[in-house]
Chains A and B, each alone.
Chain A
């Protein structure tokens, strides 16, 4: 009887130590988003969003302004090194209104695998652009958002849709 007790205790201890989390592999292979957004992109759609109206639940929240001026002239080229790290960028406005203060310089992303913000820099000038959904990257679409705020409250956003050249 005593032996049975010891065996039960030993079995419990063995079971307890035998438990360990099972490692599951990734559902798909990990994607380096920063590498994917490198290349030359043409601006294809611009939407102006009144975030203040959105917050207050007012009508007239968004306006497609793509065709008001030749926004489609604008291209952005994001370059990277051999390892896929961001290096330089060039924005060619053509006759399009500016979407950033800079036309060239260096760029960085806050996270290589899941970036939310890209930073354009030239000297002391810095422009932040928010990255939209990555879902379109595989089909050659890339989304950026520029926010304009007062004391941290976003008042206006511009949503830019780019298509790979």
Chain B
């Protein structure tokens, strides 16, 4: 029960933290200029006029650095100062490669917090936010196009030749399960075990537009979908054994 309450509290905190931060553009590479908009309502910085960013790269993945603009914890540099745009609302503009002095290949994600100049007050960490890759990395699961909204055709691929799991390498009768989530992140609809198209000996795919695959009442917003390839394996006696790969999530963007 204690664990459950703790995880609920953690989820709510995460949701609250994410609702404070928006990015423009919504997706960006380490070489793109991005503007963070931060709402500090309900944080120790609420009501202040001068707040400073403390930014760091590659949280939890190794090779991380503090932002070159950070200054010292007890004395932030003026280049780290947010621009106030409204009460409790601030923006900060940066380019990943410039602010961290790292190459695009080195930068995977970043996180940040906001603080007073002397570090006496601060927000929680907002992290990790991924940079879009600038170099293509082949992987066993892929989606085309890489960025899309809920009205777009999505094609999910299983490159069996790139599978690292031996069971996935041996999978046959390949099927895919697509699950859609509403704007609040709750499961909205699912289409299970759709037969995947065999594009070649080791490549399977499935293409769909949500409104053609599921019943989608007008005005329904989908936040994301997930896909999971599954199929059968042969056991030692030659009998079929069902096996599923990992679930892969894809967030829907909003085009403007």
Contact = CB atoms under 8 A, between A and B. Distances in A.
B25 A63 contact: no
A148 B255 contact: yes
Given A56-B136, A68-B153, A150-B27, A48 B256 contact: no
B152 interface: yes
B145 interface: yes
B147 interface: yes
Task: Give the interface centre of A69, A98, A153, A156 by most chain B CB atoms within 10 Å.
Answer: A156
A155 to B, nearest CB: 5
Contact of A50 (B144, B211, B254): B144
Contact of A150 (B29, B146, B208, B256): B256
B24 interface: yes
B155 A148 contact: no
B4 to A, nearest CB: 38
A138 interface: no
Secondary structure call for the B interface: loop
Interface in A148-164: 148-151, 153, 155-156
B152 A148 contact: yes
Given A65-B207, A68-B153, A150-B255, A53 B212 contact: no
Interface residues of A, number: 23
Given A63-B155, A150-B25, A156-B147, A68 B207 contact: yes
23 contacts: A49-B145, A50-B145, A50-B146, A52-B132, A52-B146, A53-B146, A56-B29, A56-B136, A63-B144, A65-B155, A68-B207, A97-B153, A97-B212, A98-B151, A148-B255, A150-B25, A150-B147, A151-B24, A151-B25, A155-B147, A155-B255, A156-B145, A156-B255
Sorted nearest first, the 8 A-B pairs with minimum C-beta distance are A50-B145, A58-B136, A148-B255, A68-B207, A151-B25, A155-B147, A156-B145, A150-B25
Interface of B: 24-27, 29, 132, 134, 136, 142, 144-149, 151-153, 155, 207-209, 211-212, 253-256
